[in-house]
């Protein structure tokens, strides 16, 4: 009976070396208030200078979402007083953002596609951080002035699944473009969710409630469910007008609830006006030319993998779900003689099952080149799949050459038919009774002979070759 209307604001921290308007480094693991200067501490007389890299990265994002990139965009002051913002205003872009009218296509659970419009993406400066320590609060300005790109969607989503699909899409685009690390836990991909409800079929937009402070996809889903329930219950109880106000609510992940944080300000409350200390932001043709050539995006890569490597849509989806995995796979495939089928198994099953804790595919001792070489050794039948597992176990802890490990562990597969025939003959001669029984119809004994041969070869014989030779010899 109700329809849910959801729009998202995503703050993406851009991974530039220096801050938006000064040359202070953007790295955070420094002593408090050391990555600061007169500009980002807002000392009187200090003037901002726009970091070009931020403009370049904005062009890349705009290109990736098929948006208009404004040749001229303008910075505005948004006035508000918080301890972590020493200037008492934030520099942002209200009236003319750098990126406008984009779109993202998402895939719904039933496989159909839906286009979510992106209203805008604008450049703004991040605030510092308040640190609460018992009775006192401290301010750390290391983060003040870090560049953000705020990406604002239209209210085109109607449930939490669409929201998650949109966010995952946006997240992976940012990672593929390498314009930010988009780490939700560390706050470099911050999501504010605007939720309202309306009777089905109604076109009017009702009071929207903003939920902040949600740092995982799981909690975003939960927060939306809670808010939709709260609003529809108020409607059904006839107290919608009284209870649902335009406000900002905070998601409490411990109590799993949302609660009122403050009334939502209207734009007028911020007394926006054009920033007098900065020139207009101009995107030149040369910049457009250079930065609109973006790397291959996840969807295109997925389609190409399906075609080029004849893999299933599912596998292609898994491998392109993260840029790291996609690059890992492509590096593996650059090794001569590697088949995609074996590479997929070892990349998506064998390697991940051996990773734990802080170790992942980007910092594992077994890198893409190594895993590719190991797969090559399986594909060229130097070792069996079973032996390769042993080699991989060893490589997870020892940085050594693969061929030397195969040698050292004695895992080289014997494919020399002469050698295998000799072992088979030896086993047959040593077990005349079993041979007679087998030839008398006890076919189950075949397994016994295979086992004996494998044992005699210390597991190195190719099982396929052993089967063939035994079948021929035993008749």
Query: Which residues bind to Zn ion, rule: CB under 5 A?
Result: 22, 24, 37, 39-40
Cβ closer to Zn ion: 37 or 164? 37
Cβ closer to Zn ion: 86 or 317? 86
Cβ closer to Zn ion: 37 or 250? 37
Q: Is 75 exposed, middle or buried (0-12, 13-18, 19+ CB in 10 A)?
A: buried
Residue 225's H or E segment, with its range, is helix 217-236
Cβ closer to Zn ion: 145 or 372? 145
Smallest gap, in angstroms, from Cβ of residue 40 to Zn ion? 3
- Extract the tokens encoding 433: 């009774």
Cβ closer to Zn ion: 26 or 342? 26
- Extract the tokens encoding 403: 């061929």
Q: Is 102 exposed, middle or buried (0-12, 13-18, 19+ CB in 10 A)?
A: buried
Helical H segments across 321-445, by residue range:
323-333, 340-345, 368-379, 385-395, 402-408, 417-430, 432-439
**What are the CB-based long-range contacts (under 8 Å, 24+) for 182-188?**
182/12, 184/215, 184/216, 184/217, 185/215, 185/216, 187/13, 187/215, 188/12, 188/13, 188/15
Smallest gap, in angstroms, from Cβ of residue 406 to Zn ion? 54
Smallest gap, in angstroms, from Cβ of residue 29 to Zn ion? 17
Q: Rounded distance, CA 70 to CA 100, Å?
A: 7
Smallest gap, in angstroms, from Cβ of residue 10 to Zn ion? 25
Bridge pairing between strands 2-13 and 147-153: antiparallel
Cβ closer to Zn ion: 37 or 177? 37
Smallest gap, in angstroms, from Cβ of residue 142 to Zn ion? 9
Smallest gap, in angstroms, from Cβ of residue 79 to Zn ion? 21
Smallest gap, in angstroms, from Cβ of residue 272 to Zn ion? 24
Q: Rounded distance, CA 388 to CA 390, Å?
A: 5
Cβ closer to Zn ion: 46 or 409? 46
3-class DSSP state of 396: coil
User: Which residues have a Cβ under 8 Å from the Cβ of 34 and sit 6 or more positions away?
Assistant: 142
């Amino acid at each position: 009976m109700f329809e849910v209307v959801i729009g998202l604001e995503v703050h993406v921290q851009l991974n530039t070396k220096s801050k938006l308007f000064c040359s202070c480094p953007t790295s955070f693991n420094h002593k408090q208030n050391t990555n600061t200067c007169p500009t980002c501490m807002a000392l009187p007389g200090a003037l901002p200078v726009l970091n070009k890299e931020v403009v370049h990265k904005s062009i890349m994002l705009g290109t990736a979402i098929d948006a208009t990139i404004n040749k001229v965009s303008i910075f505005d002051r948004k006035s508000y007083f918080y301890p972590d913002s020493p200037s008492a205003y934030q520099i942002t872009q209200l009236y003319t953002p750098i990126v406008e009218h984009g779109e993202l296509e998402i895939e719904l659970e039933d496989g159909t596609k839906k286009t979510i419009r992106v209203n805008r993406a604008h450049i703004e400066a991040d605030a510092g951080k308040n640190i609460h320590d018992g009775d006192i609060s401290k301010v750390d300005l290391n983060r003040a002035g870090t560049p953000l790109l705020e990406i604002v969607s239209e209210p085109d989503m109607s449930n939490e699944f669409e929201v998650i699909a949109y966010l995952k899409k946006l997240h992976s685009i940012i990672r593929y473009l390498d314009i930010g690390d988009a780490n939700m836990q560390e706050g470099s991909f911050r999501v504010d969710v605007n939720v309202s409800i309306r009777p089905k079929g109604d076109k009017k937009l009702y009071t929207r409630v903003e939920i902040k402070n949600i740092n995982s996809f799981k909690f975003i889903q939960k927060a939306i469910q809670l808010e939709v329930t709260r609003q529809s219950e108020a409607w059904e109880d006839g107290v919608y007008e009284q209870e649902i106000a335009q406000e900002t609510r905070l998601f409490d992940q411990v109590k799993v609830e949302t609660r009122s944080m403050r009334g939502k300000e209207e734009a007028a409350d911020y007394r926006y006006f054009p920033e007098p200390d900065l020139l207009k932001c101009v995107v030149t043709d040369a910049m457009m030319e250079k930065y609109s050539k973006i790397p291959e995006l996840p969807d295109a890569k997925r389609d190409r993998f399906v075609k080029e490597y004849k893999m299933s849509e599912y596998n292609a989806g898994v491998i392109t779900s993260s840029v790291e995995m996609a690059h890992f796979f492509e590096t593996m495939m650059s090794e001569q003689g590697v088949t995609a089928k074996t590479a997929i198994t070892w990349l998506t099953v064998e390697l991940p099952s051996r990773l734990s804790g802080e170790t992942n595919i980007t910092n594992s001792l077994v890198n893409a080149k190594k895993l590719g070489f190991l797969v090559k050794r399986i594909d060229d039948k130097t070792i069996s799949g079973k032996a390769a597992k042993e080699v991989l176990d060893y490589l997870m802890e020892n940085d050594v050459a693969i061929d030397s490990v195969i040698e050292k562990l004695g895992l080289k597969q014997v494919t020399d038919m002469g050698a295998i025939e000799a072992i088979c003959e030896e086993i047959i001669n040593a077990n005349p009774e079993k041979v007679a029984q087998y030839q008398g119809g006890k076919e189950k004994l075949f397994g016994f002979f295979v086992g004996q041969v494998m044992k005699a070869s210390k597991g190195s014989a190719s099982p396929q070759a052993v089967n063939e030779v035994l079948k021929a010899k035993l008749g």
